[in-house]
Structure 1
């Protein structure tokens, strides 16, 4: 994982003198912030987080650039998380949005009592949603399952990483296969590093810019996280997705005539939607205050062969190489400001 050079590059950018007199122009960039390990550790804010948001907010506590908090944690209501972050960072309460109702088994985050939850979920799957009935045959395919968090590890107040929802999924998958002899299948995997999560975050970023009246199109996203296997992997995967969308746009002739693309050059609806987006790139910034700790003595081969990602995601070592590595979230914000010539 080629991180040492990235750390030097990040420090070099931070040493540049700040630009002045440019804060009045509308931002052409936005931030995607992970929460645990970047802004807070358990219930305690990371010291650099408040400094970072003092740069991002004006004197009244309103954000000067669009920001989305991109966390896989689903163990509390969004309104409660918004209040918690606002108090920790000294902001006005971040806005929250609703989700559609989905039928099936929805797995948001690791439970407190794993054995009880594993048993109940297995009961629902093996009984086709009717645990009180006695079924002679195990239904397969089973009920739809939607998993919203694949993180194997995360950081709280403890010095060592904690087992995350990805570890719970690993247990569930192993138990289901051991009992039935078949693979557990997911209707969808949402949350980092899934590209659909970043596409929705991009939509929210653009929505914020429109509500604030910022006329400049949002061209670049900076994804700040502490976990190479989810935050960095996901941001890089989405960056590749954006490049594919741009290539499809050129090949299909969408720049010249969106309605005149030939059948041979048709692209999928998802890529077509991203072609219509102004966002061109998503750069990953890795901080050292959470799961990842910079250690130049760790051999590259050791890091790259231990894949913490979900079994349904193929491992590409290049996707865990961050665009930049910095010490904390305040350094990450300063680095983005330097790149954007923003003060």
Structure 2
């Protein structure tokens, strides 16, 4: 199997090696795609025939690897370093308290939380009160006055990290930094090292173009650009005057696409389905061309690579009924269409939870965040994944060796634990209960979840 740098790689050795450096500078990590047939079933995959159980490949130069950044993207958004006089006093008080409780502080720095967002911290644009209380505690409103390490890991997407964090900061009432945040397509910025000409699909308006360009892709094409070039390409198109004004048409008749990136749920399914299928059935990624043998059993000869940022079939929203269909539903539908046309399963690669690459990316972000808030680039040993979806949050955390907590505020609403993918730390009514249980386990039952200046009066007098 060829490696990205041209060297030969033994498939058996590749399967045993969890991390494969891709470039001399070490900026990219290649993680073998490890999604099992079991987790594919849980994601409602149609690719279940025996030929697909051990093959999760796409036509690309690095076989079945999912590239991710070795470290988080360069710092683009920091929490404010400006403190008031009152904050300064509190910091001094907290420092004195922490000096007296070194073992407890050590335990705090050796644990961390990884939160899903939708169904755990918020329902759409409505932040849950328990989530706000949780972040208050973790941000320092506790007896030590210390920040607990935590990151947000979501299968959502469709906006730049800056835009999403600004939105979350408002929704949750606490500042969320891009340096502690991973959405489904964040790790996919590494793909810009391999592909130049990409079709990007999903999300509202043209936001997804901004996302791909921020990741370093050189030639980003939106489906609306193709519609502006040839409106007849989609029979049931949704193409407004505003779309026409923002589209970037060009002559695509000889334009060669290197890959297809489905980064978020579709807002124009008919057009997205049609253009994606046109490229999958094309000769070498050129529109208006047809592969000589689109039903070839040789995957490399069959179609250009297609990546999905995640595979969740359902996602909780503001809707008061059952969870709503998500990006996984789009993938399932596309797979069914491709199979109906070719008789074969679609070769695709899926990022997001529960894929191992996403959790390795989370390790990198944890280390960077630890360095930012505590000055030491270490990975906490006791990580707690708190999620609402057994089929992504819990199965992924379990497979990666994390402590997993299942909450009942989102997709999961059962009385007991999930039968197929049980959370190994327990099931909780909401995120606040889960976090308190984890902290008590690591720090003791007497740990207080509030900062009480009265308990530190002597330190206050010394400061004054």
Query: Match for residue 384 of structure 2?
Result: 222
* C-alpha displacement of 1:283: 0.5
Q: Tell me, in whole angstroms, the C-alpha distance in 1 between the residues paired with 2:424 and 2:274.
A: 39
* C-alpha displacement of 1:56: 0.7
Counterpart check, 1:76 vs 2:76: no
* Secondary structure of the structure 2 residue equivalent to 1:185: coil
* Cα separation, partners in 2 of 1:149 and 1:217, compared to 1, 3 Å: closer
Match among 311, 316, 324 for residue 155 of structure 1? 316
* Cα separation, partners in 2 of 1:293 and 1:63, compared to 1, 3 Å: farther
Counterpart check, 1:33 vs 2:153: no
Q: Tell me, in whole angstroms, the C-alpha distance in 2 between the residues paired with 1:120 and 1:108.
A: 15
Query: Match for residue 331 of structure 1?
Result: 433
* Secondary structure of the structure 1 residue equivalent to 2:178: coil
Structure showing greater radius of gyration is 2
Q: Deviations over 1:81-116 (max 9, x none)?
A: 111111122223412487221531111221112222
* C-alpha displacement of 1:134: 4.9
Residues 205-244 of structure 1: pairs in structure 2 closer than 5 A: 205-215=366-376, 218-239=380-401
Q: Tell me, in whole angstroms, the C-alpha distance in 1 between the residues paired with 2:325 and 2:146.
A: 33
Match among 136, 148, 155 for residue 65 of structure 1? 148
Q: Deviations over 1:9-40 (max 9, x none)?
A: xxxxxxxxxxx967644510111110111111
* C-alpha displacement of 1:166: 1.0
Q: Tell me, in whole angstroms, the C-alpha distance in 1 between the residues paired with 2:423 and 2:146.
A: 29
Specify every segment of 5 or more residues in structure 1 that has no aligned partner in the other structure, as ranges: 1-19, 240-281, 305-316
Q: Tell me, in whole angstroms, the C-alpha distance in 2 between the residues paired with 1:120 and 1:87.
A: 36
Q: Tell me, in whole angstroms, the C-alpha distance in 2 between the residues paired with 1:86 and 1:235.
A: 25
Query: Match for residue 111 of structure 1?
Result: 266
* C-alpha displacement of 1:214: 4.9
Residues 180-195 of structure 1: pairs in structure 2 closer than 5 A: 180-186=342-348, 188-195=349-356
Q: Tell me, in whole angstroms, the C-alpha distance in 2 between the residues paired with 1:182 and 1:63.
A: 55
* Secondary structure of the structure 2 residue equivalent to 1:31: strand
Q: TM-score w.r.t. structure 1 length? A: 0.70
* Cα separation, partners in 2 of 1:107 and 1:132, compared to 1, 3 Å: same
* Cα separation, partners in 2 of 1:217 and 1:109, compared to 1, 3 Å: closer
Query: Match for residue 338 of structure 2?
Result: 176
Q: Deviations over 1:159-200 (max 9, x none)?
A: 2110011111111111001101111002x3210001111111
Specify every segment of 5 or more residues in structure 2 that has no aligned partner in the other structure, as ranges: 1-99, 196-258, 449-464
Q: Tell me, in whole angstroms, the C-alpha distance in 2 between the residues paired with 1:121 and 1:81.
A: 27
Q: Deviations over 1:223-276 (max 9, x none)?
A: 01000111101100111xxxxxxxxxxxxxxxxxxxxxxxxxxxxxxxxxxxxx
Q: Deviations over 1:187-224 (max 9, x none)?
A: x3210001111111012112211233355751111001
| More displaced stretch, 125-134 vs 104-113 | 125-134
Q: TM-score w.r.t. structure 2 length? A: 0.52
* C-alpha displacement of 1:132: 2.6
RMSD of the TM alignment (CA)?
A: 2.5
* Secondary structure of the structure 2 residue equivalent to 1:105: strand
Q: Tell me, in whole angstroms, the C-alpha distance in 2 between the residues paired with 1:288 and 1:55.
A: 21
Q: Tell me, in whole angstroms, the C-alpha distance in 2 between the residues paired with 1:35 and 1:93.
A: 12
- Relative contact order, CA 8 A, sep 6+: which one is greater? 1
Query: Match for residue 88 of structure 1?
Result: 171
